[in-house]
């Protein structure tokens, strides 16, 4: 028996909404769940889980992947994550209802074992970090100011191809996205401030190395 349009719409809404993490440990739980099925984890699998409507989980995922040694060291991975961030930022500006990513990008994958190792390595610091996060300076992460956060993430994303050739600079991008992602999902404007400061420092380093 075929589904009616309303039922299909409900399932599509579930796919784009996903399970929204409320902190870093919850995000790691979601990534662990994705890595528990099969030998490979595709980007499509990840976004079906974390959703495609909220920028916070998307940019947090990009940051964690770029920071994780066993995943972020894959050649081209920082640029792939930068492409995801940049495409998402463009759709925020266009006020899209949910984020679209091309099939060739969603098909990219890493081994489930690498993903599980990355999640395991982040478990202990995640508990400490989550205790420090709380809603504060919320004016910096709510309403129109979210566009400023998206812009800072987008500028960083545009620099990722150059970061492939500058040692450790990609880690800076990963940390920037992680800070902004955590700021958005926990309403912590102080963490967003840290993200802005780090963005300026990384941008200065990239420009200095390119000149």
Query: pLDDT tens per residue, the chain (211 residues)?
Result: 334 434 334 444 444 556 788 999 999 999 999 998 878 999 999 999 998 888 999 999 999 999 987 665 667 888 999 999 999 999 998 988 889 999 999 999 888 998 999 999 999 899 999 999 999 999 999 999 999 999 999 999 999 988 888 888 889 999 999 999 999 999 999 999 999 999 999 999 888 887 7
CA separation, residue 27 to residues 126, 159, 167 (Å): 10, 26, 28
Please report which helix (H) or strand (E) contains residue 109, including its range.
Answer: strand 109-111
pLDDT of residue 7: 39
Task: Report yes or no: 25 and 130 within 8 Å, Cβ to Cβ.
Answer: yes
Handedness of CA 11, 17, 18, 20 (dihedral sign): negative
pLDDT of residue 77: 86
Instruction: Classify 66 as helix, strand or coil.
Output: helix
pTM of the model: 0.88
Please report which helix (H) or strand (E) contains residue 41, including its range.
Answer: strand 40-42
DSSP structural state of residue 52: S
CA distance 121 to 21: 19
pLDDT of residue 39: 87
pLDDT of residue 150: 95
């Amino acid at each position: 028996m075929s589904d009616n349009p309303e039922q299909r719409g409900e399932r599509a809404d579930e796919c784009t909404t996903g399970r929204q993490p409320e902190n870093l440990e919850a995000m790691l739980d979601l990534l662990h769940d994705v890595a528990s099925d099969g030998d490979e984890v595709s980007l499509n699998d990840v976004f079906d889980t974390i959703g495609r409507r909220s920028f916070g989980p998307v940019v947090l995922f990009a940051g964690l992947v770029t920071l994780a040694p066993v995943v972020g060291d894959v050649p081209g991975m920082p640029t792939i994550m930068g492409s995801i961030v940049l495409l998402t930022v463009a759709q925020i500006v266009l006020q899209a209802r949910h984020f679209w990513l091309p099939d060739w990008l969603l098909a990219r994958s890493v081994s489930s074992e690498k993903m599980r190792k990355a999640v395991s390595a982040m478990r202990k610091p995640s508990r400490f970090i989550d205790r420090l996060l709380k809603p504060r300076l919320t004016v910096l992460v709510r309403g129109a100011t979210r566009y400023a956060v998206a812009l800072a993430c987008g500028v960083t994303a545009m620099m990722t191809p150059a970061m492939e050739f500058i040692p450790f600079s990609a880690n800076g991008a990963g940390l920037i996205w992680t800070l902004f992602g955590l700021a958005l999902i926990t309403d912590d404007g102080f963490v967003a401030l840290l993200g802005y400061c780090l963005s300026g420092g990384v941008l200065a380093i990239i420009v200095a190395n390119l000149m």
